[in-house]
Structure formats: structure tokens, C-alpha cells
Amino acid sequence: MKKSLRTSLAALAALAAAVMLPTLALAQTHAAHEHGKVAVDIAVEREQLTIGIDTPLDNLLGFERAPRSAAEKQAADAAVARLRAADGWLRIDPQAGCQLQAVTLESGALGLGGAPAEGEHADLEGSVTYRCTDATRAAWIDVGLADAFKRVKVLQVQVAGPQGQAKQTLSGKNRRVVLAK
Amino acid sequence: MTPLITLAARSAWNRRFTLMLTVASIALATLLLMGIERLRTDLRANFSSAVSGTDLIVGARTGSTQLLLYSVFRIGAATNNMGWASVQALAAHRAVAWVVPISLGDSHRGYPVLGTSGEYFERFRYGNRQPLKLAEGRAFNQLFEAVLGADVAEQLGYKLGQRLTLAHGSGELVAEHADKPFVVTGILARTGTPVDRTVHISLESMEALHVDWVGGVQMPGRALTPDQLREMNLQPKAVTAALVGLKSRPAVFSVQRWVADYRAEPLMAILPGVALDELWEVVGVGEKALLAMSVMVGVVSLAGLVSVVLAGLNERRRELAVLRAVGAGPRHVLALLALEGALVTLAGALLGLLLALGGAAALGPWLQSRHGLVIGWGMPSTAQWMLFAAVVATGWLASLLPALRAYRLSLVDGLSPRI
């Protein structure tokens, strides 16, 4: 019995290894680049809520290099403006009393600082900071990136909050990150 | 209504053997459903409580689940080590509050040995951020001292001051570090986590064990005495992983990226809670399969209940006809059979519940000592009550099927049914 339980545990570990290795090794590195997918990191502290995003530029623009034509430049400017207006695609539980404080965007290809674009697979990283009366009271955050940018299909969300850490995957019509366990 | 219950009871007593078998099969189905649900929730609670208060776990680049499994649960093995220079670089990061390096690989009579720093006993948290407590003695503070987890001490009958030797590796064929015995200086209070099944020694002791070993064997003629070792620089060159605490929570993602981009060697940092959720995504498939199997067992048991009642119905047509003759209406017959079905299902489900609770209480200590799995045997959870209610409701509905047939038959049957 003992041996069979041990064997089961080992099999479980092996299964986990086999299934998770290809995806997670990528998911955990900085440069994970998968079209349609956006990595969203949410950190909750009492007076501050930080939402980080890391996305291939393709999700926002349909191309992922520096814009070449006037039309591409216009599209890039519009996407950046939409991201900067974070209240348009982020909605936080009013219980927390949060006010948008700062939005920083980095993308070498778009001339927004950060590492210079290498090849044809440029990314954009962003960080949105909110000042809150008590962010720990927020039970949810709606991340509407898939509404703002039609090419966004899946959000891989990591949450670090007072109730611990969690992972959520949002796809389809689901926009809500649940913070309260 | 009372005469009806008396009648139902007497009629059931008359067919007690068949009904007892039905009750037993419903009880087993309930036991299976409740048992799997309890194991599932308790296993999750056990895993979730194994580490808390650690913001990141850093190790050689691999899958996040693997890193979590071997660094926290001692399941599987590391593919690579992490250089000591990287540990120091991590500790020097401005957002990092503390770093507790851990080194695995050796064992003692099947229990894993963990090399770590003295800070481990202050920083490590489990459950709801509970710190480790020493039940007896003190933490190690020099070479060749060991602090035992509660299960190790209890199962092997070790006391403070006892000497033990560690084994190189953890497989079936292990070589003993017999020339360097350790002395037990402390025994930790029970935590219900893998800590209970671990022998803790200092990183320097771990290094000292392997100084005169090359390629997994001790070099002949190169054996060093403990006194010679005390004179040496025993700073480890590499460790298995490092537990990291940060000064502020929002830094967790930037430090994670910093580690992923670390140039000197390929490393990764995981958020333990996130890695655990990823583990559940994989395990969840197996859990669903188990639950589906026990639901199937439930369905088979209820099908048995229906067939037993249906098969008995032909024999009971005379009984029911007599009841009709003495003035019982078809509704009474329907009520009689529905009541019997409800009682049989309820008795089976209650028996199953008691078996599940008793089983958890009886097997709990064995599961904890052998496998470190803490099974609660208190009141059933909401999910368990819901399963219980589902069994009772489905069983009762299933028993209505033959009751409806009996109701129809009792309308057309006379005192001389065509059997």
C-alpha cells in the first residue's frame, strides 16, 4: 500500500512535469511571447494597487515592430492612448476606493523606452498604479483588455495579495479577476 | 400516518435481507463519494498550508511545479543546482528582505535531509503564517548537529542527544556518511507539513559531509576527521533552491523578472501560491475522474435499489392488494412505497457517512505518520453535506419509480392478481 501510494505520488509528479514543463518554463520567463495572450500581474497592498501587463505588440497593433507608415503610426498612437486611459479598460471594486495614479508603458519598438526592439517580435510592458483608501477590500478587478484590443484572447493573471498568491486564467467573456478567496 | 409507518416497517422487516444489501450498497456509494471529497479537500489544504509567508522560491530553471514539488514537498529532484554567488546576488537585491537557501539530496532512513541556514527556523512559515516551534532542545549552531521533524523523531524513536548517520542520496542503494555522525539537538513541534518528515542540518554540515567525496563515493585515504573539517571553509558552492521574503509585496513581480533575466546562470523564481494553483490545474483532471467514478458507483447502487424494489413488487402484489381490500387507497400504497424508499436510502446514506467519519478517524494517524497527510475527521464540510443530500434525494427519486408502478398496479389488481 505504502509503495503504491509513493508510486502514485511519483507518477503525479511526473505527470505534472510532463504537462507543465513546456508551458510553464515559458510562462515564467520574462520574454514569454505568445500571440493572443497577455501576462497580467496584480499586487495588492493596503494603499496601493499595481497592475502590470506584458504583451506581444501584435495583440495591440496587429504587427510587432516599429510602425513604418503613417497609418501604422496612427494605430500605435491610438493603442498607446487607449492603454494610458487605464480607467477605460480597468474597473476595480468600488469598495477599495481607488484612484488612478500613474501609467507607465515601455516598448522599444514604439519608442517608449525599455529594451530596443530585436527582430520582428516586439513586446510592450506596462504598469498601472492606483492609490486606494483600502485596496485590501477590493473583491474583484475587471480587466477589459480583450474588449479594448480584439486580438487579445487570454489573460494569464498572477495575484499577490494579503490573502496569498493565486493564478487565474481569463478567456472568452470572462473579464473578472477574483481577489477574495 | 402512524399505522402506515408501522406497516412499512413490518413489511420491510419481512424483506430485511434484500433491503440490508441495498442499504449496504448505498452506504458504500456514499462512503466513496464522501471519502473522495474529504481526501480531495484535505489534500489541498495540506499542500496549501505547507508554505506561507514566502514571496518567491528561486531555483535552477525548470518547470514551476517541479521547483515547488521538490523544494517544498521533497517530491522529485532538482535538475540543476543554483550557484552560491547567485544566492548572494539575490540577497543583495534592494527589494529582498531575507533569503533562506536550502540544499537537498541526502536522506536518513528514508526521510529527506535538508541543509539550510539557521534563519530557516525564524523565517519559514506554514499554515496561516505560523512559525516553526521547537518542541524540545534548540536549533543547530555548529557542525554535525541535526534538528528533527516531529514524525522523524516519533517514528524512529529519537531523543535529544542521540547520534545518527546520514546517507548519501535517497535511492535504494545509498552509501552512509558513517564517519561523520550527527547529534540531535532539537525536535520541532508538529506542523502537519513536509517539515515533520525532514531532518534539518546546517549548510556547512551538508558541505562537510561531501568535502571528501567525489562522484558519489568517498575518496579512499582522503577521509577528513570532524576536527579537520571544523578548520575548513565550508561555505557551500551551490544550493538546491532559495526561499525569498521581500520588503514589499508589489516588488514580487519585478524581482521575479529580475531572476528570469539573471545573466550569470539560468534561474527562475516562482510565486508558491501561483505554482500551487498550476499544480491543481493538472491534479484537478484526476480528481474529476475519481469523482466521476464514485458518482458511477452511486448510480449503480441506486439502480440496484430500483431493481430490488421492482423485483420484489411482483411478490408484493398480493400484499398490496390485501391492503387495498382493507381500505387503503392507491395514494396510501404510493406513500407506503415512497416512505420505504426514503428510509432505505437515508439509512444507507447515514451508514456511509458514519463509515466515512469512522474511516477518517481510524486511518488518520496512519496516513499522517506514513505519508504526512493530515485528514480531518470532524463534521462534514458543506460540499460533503451537499453530496449526502444529493445521494438521499436521488435515492428517494429512484425509489419512486417502482412506487409509481405499484400505484398503477394496485388500481388494476384485484385480490387474485395474474402472477
Say if residues A54 and A169 touch (Cβ distance below 8 Å). Answer: no
DSSP A46-71: SSEEEEEEEEEHHHHHS--S---SHH
H or E stretch at A100: strand A98-106
The reply to whether residue B256 touches residue A28, judged by beta carbons under 8 angstroms, is: yes
Say if residues B183 and B146 touch (Cβ distance below 8 Å). Answer: yes
Span A20-47, mean pLDDT? Answer: 69
Span A130-142, mean pLDDT? Answer: 94
By the CB < 8 Å criterion, does B268 face chain A?
Answer: yes
Q: pLDDT value at position B207?
A: 86
Comparing CB atoms, the residue among B260, B272, B274 nearest residue A30 is B260
For residue B399, pLDDT beyond 70: yes
Span A161-175, mean pLDDT? Answer: 89
Strand-strand pairing, B111-116 and B199-202: parallel
Contacts of A20 (CB under 8 A, 6+ apart): B63, B64, B65, B66, B278, B282
Span B311-315, mean pLDDT? Answer: 72
Q: pLDDT value at position B311?
A: 76
Give contacts of A45 with chain B, Cβ < 8 Å.
248-250
Span B196-201, mean pLDDT? Answer: 93
Q: Which residue of A has its CA nearest to B272?
A: A165
Higher pLDDT, A21 or A107: A107
| Residue among B37, B28, B24, B29 at smallest CA distance from B299 | B29
Number of A/B CB contacts below 8 angstroms equals 95
Give contacts of B283 with chain A, Cβ < 8 Å.
12, 16
CB atoms within 10 A of CB B11: 18
Q: In this prediction, what percent of chain B has a pLDDT beyond 70?
A: 88
Predicted structure pTM score: 0.76
The reply to whether residue A2 touches residue B370, judged by beta carbons under 8 angstroms, is: yes
The reply to whether residue A25 touches residue B63, judged by beta carbons under 8 angstroms, is: yes
Best B155, B274, B282, B363 member to test A by mutation, with max A CBs in 10 Å, is: B274
Span B136-157, mean pLDDT? Answer: 91
Highest-scoring range by mean pLDDT, A99-103, B279-283, B340-344: A99-103
Q: pLDDT value at position B411?
A: 64
By the CB < 8 Å criterion, does B65 face chain A?
Answer: yes
Span B203-232, mean pLDDT? Answer: 72
For residue A115, pLDDT beyond 90: no
Interface predicted TM-score (ipTM): 0.76
Higher pLDDT, B183 or A31: B183
Contacts of B44 (CB under 8 A, 6+ apart): B280
Q: pLDDT value at position B183?
A: 93
pLDDT band at residue A137 under the 50/70/90 scheme = very high
pLDDT band at residue A20 under the 50/70/90 scheme = very low
Q: pLDDT value at position A76?
A: 92
Q: pLDDT value at position B41?
A: 83
For residue B259, pLDDT beyond 50: yes
Q: pLDDT value at position A117?
A: 59
